[in-house]
């Protein structure tokens, strides 16, 4: 599991502040799948590549214990600082070497993280630690389908947003490309016969222009760009925010717009 660019304290703070929390619709799909395939009780969920804990916190009310695993101690520190989740434990580790006994985990999840895993080693570990009929839920979204709406200038806002992509495309890693491909290769490699893909889970959010720009800043490809040319990276964020505000005819970056995006989810259940 490779998070080299995500280990710094500054980026951990950005990631915590601006990354998207998995939506209610997707949480319900996953929980219904676990109920159907494995049944209750929901004892242990393990959230891989947990980052600053957004997905772990979504799972916490529904499991006796949640363990978030990430390679970045800085991101785990951000997660631990969030109060109100006494049943979550955060541990430094990788998806390819899990600190759990055989057949002990009810649910393995990864939210916008599975594309970083070593596919073969991760699936071997998943097969080992899952209980019989235990479940796997690998979820994410593709930013290529993201759309925005504010009064009558939605298409122009979409155009501004899409113009950022060619600038960052040379800095896009192959794992991120796999995520935009909705984990098709990983899905094919899952050894369990009982598996399915759910696509086009449409979600509508309200987001400020400030947070939208922060969301771009949290992308791994932006972080690579920033390492190579910090000033150009900063200018890209400022210019994008300025263009959004000018197109919307407002001055405050806290002005909210509608954000439309599509999630996907890979679900699988270990045989009895």
User: Would 155 be classed as within a structural domain?
Assistant: yes
Whole-angstrom Cα distance, residue 53 to residue 240? 28
pLDDT band per the 50, 70, 90 thresholds, residue 145: confident
End-to-end Cα spacing for the chain: 28
pLDDT band per the 50, 70, 90 thresholds, residue 4: very low
* Cβ burial, residue 270 (10 Å; 0-12/13-18/19+): buried
User: Would 109 be classed as within a structural domain?
Assistant: yes
Q: Which residue has the higher pLDDT, 210 or 172?
A: 210
Is the per-residue pLDDT at 180 higher than 80? Answer: no
User: Would 4 be classed as within a structural domain?
Assistant: no
Residue 150: phi, psi to the nearest 5? -150, 110
User: Would 25 be classed as within a structural domain?
Assistant: yes
On the CB side of 167, CA atoms within 13 Å amount to 21
Q: Specify the range with the lowest mean pLDDT, choosing from 20-24, 85-89, 162-166, 201-205.
A: 20-24
User: Would 179 be classed as within a structural domain?
Assistant: yes
Which of 126-147 are b and which e, b meaning 16 or more Cβ less than 10 Å from the residue's Cβ? Answer: bbebbbebbbbbbbbbebeebb
Instruction: Provide the residue range defining the domain that includes 120.
Output: 9-270
Rg of the chain (C-alpha set): 19
CA neighbor of 107 nearest in space, from 218, 169, 176, 32? 32
User: Would 213 be classed as within a structural domain?
Assistant: yes
Those residues with Cβ within 8 angstroms of residue 222's Cβ, 6 or more apart along the chain or in another chain: 168, 171, 216, 233, 236
Note the pLDDT of residue 141.
Answer: 87
Average pLDDT over residues 195-199: 93
User: Would 1 be classed as within a structural domain?
Assistant: no
Q: Are 108 and 46 in contact (CB under 8 A)?
A: yes
CATH classification of the domain holding 198: 3.40.50.150
* Cβ burial, residue 67 (10 Å; 0-12/13-18/19+): buried
Those residues with Cβ within 8 angstroms of residue 239's Cβ, 6 or more apart along the chain or in another chain: none
Average pLDDT over residues 119-135: 97
User: Would 214 be classed as within a structural domain?
Assistant: yes
Enter the tokens of residue 265.
């989810």
Is the per-residue pLDDT at 178 higher than 60? Answer: no
How many domains is the chain built from?
1
Average pLDDT over residues 201-229: 92
Whole-angstrom Cα distance, residue 272 to residue 265? 22
Those residues with Cβ within 8 angstroms of residue 179's Cβ, 6 or more apart along the chain or in another chain: 112, 114, 115, 140, 142
69-102 confidence digits (pLDDT tens): 999 998 899 999 999 999 999 999 999 999 999 9
């Amino acid at each position: 599991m490779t998070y080299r660019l995500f280990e710094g304290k500054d980026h951990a703070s950005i990631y915590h502040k601006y990354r998207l929390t998995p939506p209610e619709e997707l949480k319900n799909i996953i929980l219904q799948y676990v109920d159907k395939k494995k049944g209750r009780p929901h004892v242990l969920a393990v959230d891989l590549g947990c980052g600053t804990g957004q997905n772990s916190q979504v799972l916490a009310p529904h499991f006796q214990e949640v363990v978030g695993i990430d390679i970045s101690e800085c991101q785990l520190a951000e997660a631990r600082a969030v109060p109100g989740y006494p049943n979550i434990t955060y541990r430094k580790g990788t998806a390819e070497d899990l600190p759990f006994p055989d057949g002990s985990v009810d649910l393995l999840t990864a939210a916008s993280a599975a594309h970083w895993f070593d596919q073969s080693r991760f699936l071997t570990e998943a097969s080992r630690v899952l209980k019989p009929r235990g479940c796997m839920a690998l979820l994410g979204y593709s930013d290529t389908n993201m759309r925005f709406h504010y009064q009558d200038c939605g298409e122009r806002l979409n155009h501004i947003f899409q113009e950022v992509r060619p600038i960052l495309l040379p800095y896009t890693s192959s794992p991120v490309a796999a995520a935009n491909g909705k984990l098709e290769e990983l899905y094919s490699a899952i050894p369990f016969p009982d598996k399915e893909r759910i696509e086009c889970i449409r979600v509508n959010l309200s987001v400020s222009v400030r947070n939208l720009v922060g969301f771009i800043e949290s992308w791994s490809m932006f972080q690579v760009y920033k390492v190579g040319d910090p000033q150009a990276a900063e200018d890209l964020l400022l210019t994008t925010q300025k263009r959004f505000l000018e197109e919307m005819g407002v001055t405050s970056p806290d002005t909210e717009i509608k954000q439309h995006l599509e999630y996907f989810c890979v679900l699988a259940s270990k045989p009895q």
